[in-house]
Each structure stands twice: as C-alpha cells, then as structure tokens.
Amino acid sequence: MDARVVVIGAGIGGLTSAALLAARGADVTVLEKEAWVGGKARRVAVDGAAIDGGPTVFTYREVFDEVFAACGTALEDHVTVNRAEVIARHAWDDSGHLDLYADRNRSIDAVGAFAGAEAARGYRSFTEEAARIFAVLEDPFLRGDKASTPLPMMWRIGPWKLGDMLAMRPFDGMWNALGAHFKDPRLQQLFGRYATYCGSSPFAAPATLMLIAHVEARGVWLIEGGIHALAKAIASLATQQGARVRTNAAVAEVLTADGRTSGVRLASGEVIPADIVICNGDPGALATGRFGQDATRAVPAIPGAKRSLSALVWYAHAETSGFDLTHHNVFFSRDYAAEFREIGQGGTPSGPTVYVCATDRGASEHAAPPRGRERIQIIVNAPANGDVHDYTPEERARCTQAMMATLKRCGLQLEEQMPHQLMTPQDWEGLFPATGGALYGRASHGWAASFQRQGPRTRLPGLYCTGGATHPAAGVPMAALSGQLAARVIAKDLASMRTSRPVATAGGMSTRSVTTGSTG
C-alpha cells in the first residue's frame, strides 16, 4: 500500500487503524494533542498513585488477538492479561450481594441463591436470548461495513432467515424485554444497566443491546496496568510497523485540494501532507469546525438531544471498609427510573447508581485485599451538558455526597477526606471538545440509532472516522473494531482508485513482513 496517512488522535480506534495500515505498508503518522496515548484510556495521578482514568472493562479480546496477529505478534507478548473469575459484584443494600462469574453455571446458581429458582430460569433464558442476538449480529453488523439503513445488513444476514431477523428485537424496548425474563426488579435493573455501556438509557434503548451482557459473559480480562497499558501496547505495535506517533501535536485544520483531503495543519503551523486523514475523535468535532471549515461538510452534527450519557468520575486513593470489593462492583440506586428521569432533565442523579473499579483487586476472587489505601475509579452517569452547564464547587460537593450515600447504604465506607480528582461533563468537554462531555457518541435510543452512527467514510473524499463514537458502537473492543473497519475500507478505496501507480496487487493488499520488511 503506497499512501501517506495521518491519524488525528491516539485513541484505541486510531491506534488500531495506524498499526494495521502501517503493517500493510502505508506511511502513517499519528498526531495526539495530549501528552499521552490512549485518548480516554489515560492515567491520572492522585496522592502519588497512578489510576486508570478511562474505560476499565476489557472484553471481546479476540478482536485484539486479531489486531496483534495481523502485525505478526501476540497480545500476550505486549501486556499481561488474566481472566477474571468474578465478572462483577452487585449490591442494592447492605444485606448481601450478587456475583456474576466467568463460569455460566456458577452465575445461574448464584442468581438462584439470590432471588430464587424462577430467577435462575429467567437468567438462563436471558443468556440464551442474548447469545442468539450476538450470534446474529456479530458478522453482519459488529464486524460489517456501516450501512445507513437496516436493509444491507438484513441482506448480509439473509432475507430467508426471518427467524434471525426477528431475534434481533430491534423494535422492542430493552426494559420491557428484560421484564419478560426477570420478575425481580433488581435483576431487571442489573441487566438493564448494560445499556449504559454504550451511554444509553435502558428505558429508551432497544432490546438488541442485551447482546452486551453476552459479550461480557464470554469473558472479562484484567490487564496489568489497566486499559492504558493496552493503548500503549497498540501504540508500540504501530511504531514497530513503521508508524510515527507524536504527542503534544494538536491538529488545527484538515487541509483539502481538488475536493479531497491533502493533509493537516498543526496548531504550531506545521503542515503534514497526506493522501488519507483519519479522525479518531467525536465526529462532532469535525461538524462544528474544530478542524477547519472544509471538514464541516464531511459529517452531520449530532443534536444535543441525541448525545449519549456523560459521567461523573472520581479517581481516588482511599482506604475502604465494610463491603468486600472485587475488581468490578456496582451499587444500585433505589429508583432506577427516577435516576434516568433526572439525567434526562439535565440534572445529576440525587440517588445514583455507582460503579466502583477497585484497580488493585486482582483476577482471583480469593486474592487478599490490599493494605492501606487502594486505587479506585468511581463512575456515576450524568447528562452530556458540559458545554452549557457550569459544574460549580458546590455542585461537585453535592454529587460527591450523593455518590458516597449510595455506597454507604450498600455497606461500603470510603475515607471522608479521601484524596481524589473529580471529572464532570464540563471537564470531559474540555478534553473532548464539541461533545458536551458525551463519552459514547450518539445514544442508542430507538431502533434506527445504530444506523445513524458515523461510519468510516465521510462526505469529504480522503477523510475517514474511527473510534468509540463511530460504527459499530462505544467501548474498548468496539473502538478497535472501528479501527479494523476503517483500515479495511481505506485499503478497499485505495485499491479501487485508478492512479498511475498501483496501490494493491491483484490478489489483495500486500502486507509487509514484521521481521523482514518484505511483502507477501
């Protein structure tokens, strides 16, 4: 592949595209405005401790196995990965908790012990339905090319497979669909929460999103050093293929010539010519002119009402007591519907559901808890209003008190004066402009939302998109899938271009050997 490629942003999607395109022979430069690689997958220093500052759940690892294999190596050669025995621990009060396990039968038994035999049967039927939805959608949608309507995807599934199409349940609401499996409202709440993995409300999301629970049930892995270590590994992978990764290199403008991209101009004034430009950021940054006037026509803007959730995120170094934490923990609100009504009205929840990632708790459920202070990340859902709302010190303190009240009700005590840093939607907007702090792109509300996400191609020839705000969905593995898709689409587009110099061999793309540099 003979092409100059510039990637704007060193998030998971951009780094994946960079590694794969560089492995195929492209001349790739990654430009990151921050001092770190990884985008949201960063590290935050609190009280002398380095705390993972972004996504914490690592699933669907075969996607990353494929990326590293395509570059002639293996994931385990770059990071240490251990499968978690406990997927997550869940609590509603201080009377006990419910664990879900890597072993499905253990989870069925745990649900039965927690809520009775009927609940165990409901969990079994739920997992079977979620697995079927995933099986139907994995190849044509999650790994398939972006389509603006369901018709191309339905054709890939096969119009004769009516049962599979109906199994997707695109027109059924997630909350009601869960009610058919679970009479216990706590379990409906637990599995409804999976909609928030892509920044959506379980009361507005389609039942199709039940597939997220299946993705997690297939395995959750813990990476030593967290997701940031994974991002650094992919960046290293890209550089080993010949890509250049530059930090503190903010792009100010996407340049064009003759109706297509011609390169980028940095905030410093430096110009880097390119045949292909990949934007690894929220498409709203393009639509609102953050990368120059020519790029505004490349993608449609996302209305504020269509944004995904944002979050209040505390990075803390604190002593904990009471509740027996595992690595991933969820403490539920008393009234889930009220929580999402408050968010929908533009407010932070007064009685929030709280997720706690106890970074120092290992993969084994029998591991001894850390002594003294431990590193924790705490997440509460919030509205994506960071571009229009000022989060005052008083509101920040109120949110912290509400978060701690939920934890205390469920039996977890944190230090009252724990060292911490709080990120609000306003702070996320500062890091990721033109989003309002939305962390997942467009919300997956309604059956058509998934087809309205930005795909890899844009209206401006030579300009492509990748990342968690693009097709197929939000989340670490989905961002990597978007990176794979962008690389595949770019290779296909380059191969189809009639130039004086061929860009692909007759049998497909030539791939440079990692060890020899030759093609084959």
> Strands, DSSP E only, in 328-419?
328-331, 354-358, 374-382, 412-414
Q: Is the preceding omega at residue 472 within 30 degrees of 0, hence cis?
A: yes
Q: What is the largest CA-CA distance in the chain?
A: 72
**Residue 98 falls inside a structural domain:** no
Same-domain check for residues 295 and 318: no
CB 318 within 8 A of CB 419: yes
If asked whether residues 368 and 460 sit together in one domain, one would say: no
Q: Domain for residue 244, yes or no?
A: yes
Does 207 share its domain with 120?
yes
Question: In this structure, is residue 520 part of a structural domain?
Answer: no
**Same-domain status, 383 and 298:** no
| CA-wise closest residue to 182 among 141, 132, 130 | 130
In-domain check, residue 123? yes
Q: Which two tokens stand for residue 235?
A: 């960046």
Domain membership flag for residue 90 = no
Do 111 and 160 lie in a common domain? yes
Domain co-membership, 114 together with 211 = yes
Instruction: Locate 437 and state its tokens.
Output: 């702090």
Supply the range of the domain harboring residue 316.
305-431
Do 192 and 156 have their domain in common?
yes
Give the closest residue to 205 by CA, choosing from 442, 446, 473, 470: 446
pLDDT at 446: 86
The whole-number pLDDT of residue 512 equals 32
313 and 413, same domain (yes or no): yes
Report the pLDDT value the prediction gives residue 165, as an integer from 0 to 100. 53
Note whether residue 518 is domain-resident: no
Tokens for 106?
A: 């253990």
Give pLDDT, residue 352: 98
Shared domain check, 317 and 402: yes
Instruction: Give me the amino acid identity at 360.
Output: D
**Together in a domain, 121 and 207:** yes
List, run by run, the mean pLDDT of 10-residue segments along the chain (520 residues). Answer: 94 98 97 97 96 94 98 97 97 96 97 98 97 91 71 54 59 93 98 97 95 96 96 98 98 97 98 98 94 95 92 97 96 98 97 97 81 95 97 98 98 94 97 95 85 92 96 94 97 77 38 31
Q: Is 129 left (phi over 0), alpha (psi -120 to 50) or beta?
A: alpha
Pair (425, 316) in one structural domain: yes
Domain boundary (159, 183, 218) is at: 218
Contacts of 33 (CB under 8 A, 6+ apart): 9, 248, 249, 250, 251, 267
506: left (phi over 0), alpha (psi -120 to 50) or beta: alpha
Flag whether 163 is in a domain. yes
Residues 366 and 266 in one domain: no
- Polymer length of the chain: 520
Give the bridge partners for 310, in sequence order. 382
Q: To which residue do tokens 């939607």 refer?
A: 425
Neighbouring C-beta atoms of residue 306, cutoff 10 Å: 16
∠ Cα 175 181 184 (to 5°) = 80
Neighbours of 379 (CB within 10 A): 22
pLDDT at 96: 92
User: Does the residue 409 lie in any domain?
Assistant: yes
Q: What is the domain count for the chain? A: 3
